């Protein structure tokens, strides 16, 4: 009784003095030696740090198995002399040091392929982002059923296997039976009957670029459509009241809010478009000509057509390093966005 009276008196005194009342927690069970509130918190935090790693362990193990060994083998081959004799076991692999990289970097054809790959990827990324943004903006201004039809078409295009898409494009751009040549020839003054789009590298790569963009736009458009739903309508309305037009609202309100999404999509598109292989390989019937070579097909030809696995590995490793540079730029941009926010 006296303890209860003293606690009540202490609380009343603290309240009158303007201090927060002292919280009296009930004692723990006899012999526990700890107060329940604090002891329970420490118990949960003690092993909490290892739980995320335990959950990630299966995924990390699969990644190490699927990606770790091939990457290690790639690095090893790039510093060795490894051809058919070494492949069949007639000779042991020999260390080549940096000779493979010296030979690749000193080859003018390699730099022509690098330039062609960069131009191809840049054109595909820009076209993909522009078309994806236009489709996303369009979906904000159409009725519900039209939006549903657009989404169905996007998902159908996105889910189509690459080989099927390549077959369709080969038919559309066929020299003798291509529907595109027939349609364009209906324009007055245009005669493209019998035109071969793959007679020159630039035209052929433009066709392949359209194929890549056609398969990449759905993901970008769907992602940007989801991002546009997060743009506050109040900010757009305030910008219009301040006299901004549609372009001003898009430039000063929509783009800054969507910047993290745009940076992510652009980076992923660069990585994917610089790694294009089946579109070029299948479109050229498994034998891409010199003017159609990109880094992926060039590395493949060096390794499996010329049977110089060392130089093929060196080219592939240089491609990986180039892509890591793209990822580094992406991480830097995301960190800058995080600092601003």
Mean pLDDT, rounded, for 218-231: 92
Beta bridge partners of 189: none
Residues 266-283 have pLDDT tens digits of 999 999 999 899 999 999
Average pLDDT value for the chain: 83
Helical H runs in 1-97?
Answer: 2-16, 36-46, 51-63, 69-78, 84-87
The whole-model pTM stands at: 0.78
Give the pLDDT confidence score for residue 13 in this predicted structure.
45
86 against 169, higher pLDDT: 169
What string of DSSP letters covers 15-41?
Answer: HHTTPPPPP-PPP-STT--S-HHHHHH
Grade residue 339 by pLDDT with cuts at 50, 70 and 90. Answer: low
Mean pLDDT, rounded, for 59-78: 87
What is the rounded distance in angstroms from the CA atom of residue 15 to the CA atom of residue 62?
60
Q: How much of the chain exceeds pLDDT 90, in percent?
A: 40
pLDDT at 184 over 50: yes
Residues 296-324 have pLDDT tens digits of 999 999 888 888 889 899 999 999 898 88
In 289-334, DSSP assigns E strands to: none
């Amino acid at each position: 009784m006296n303890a209860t009276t003293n606690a009540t008196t202490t609380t009343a005194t603290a309240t009158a003095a303007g201090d927060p009342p002292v919280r009296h927690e009930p004692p723990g069970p006899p012999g526990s030696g700890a107060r329940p509130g604090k002891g329970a918190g420490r118990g949960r935090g003690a092993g909490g740090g290892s739980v995320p790693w335990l959950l990630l362990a299966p995924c990390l193990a699969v990644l190490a198995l699927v990606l770790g060994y091939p990457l290690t083998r790639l690095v090893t081959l790039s510093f060795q002399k490894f051809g058919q004799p070494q492949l069949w076991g007639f000779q042991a692999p020999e260390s080549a040091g940096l000779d493979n990289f010296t030979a690749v970097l000193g080859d003018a054809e390699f730099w022509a392929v690098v330039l062609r790959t960069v131009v191809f990827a840049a054109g595909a990324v820009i076209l993909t982002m522009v078309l994806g943004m236009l489709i996303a903006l369009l979906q904000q201004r159409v009725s519900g059923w039209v939006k549903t039809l657009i989404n169905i078409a996007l998902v159908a295009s996105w889910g189509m296997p690459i080989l099927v898409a390549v077959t369709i494009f080969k038919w559309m751009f066929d020299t003798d039976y291509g529907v595109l040549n027939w349609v364009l020839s209906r324009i007055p003054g245009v005669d493209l009957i019998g035109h071969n789009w793959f007679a020159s590298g630039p035209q052929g790569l433009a066709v392949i670029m359209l194929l890549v963009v056609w398969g990449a736009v759905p993901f970008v458009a769907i992602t940007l459509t989801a991002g546009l739903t997060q743009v506050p309508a109040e900010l757009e309305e305030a910008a219009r009241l301040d006299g901004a037009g549609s372009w001003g609202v898009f430039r000063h309100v929509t783009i800054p809010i969507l910047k993290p999404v745009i940076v992510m999509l652009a980076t992923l598109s660069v990585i994917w478009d610089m790694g294009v292989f089946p579109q070029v390989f299948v479109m050229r019937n498994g034998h891409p000509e010199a003017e159609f070579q990109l880094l992926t097909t060039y590395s493949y030809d060096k390794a499996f057509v010329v049977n110089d696995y060392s130089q093929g590995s060196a080219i592939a490793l240089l491609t990986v390093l180039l892509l890591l540079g793209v990822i580094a730029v992406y991480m830097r941009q995301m960190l800058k966005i995080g600092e601003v926010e």
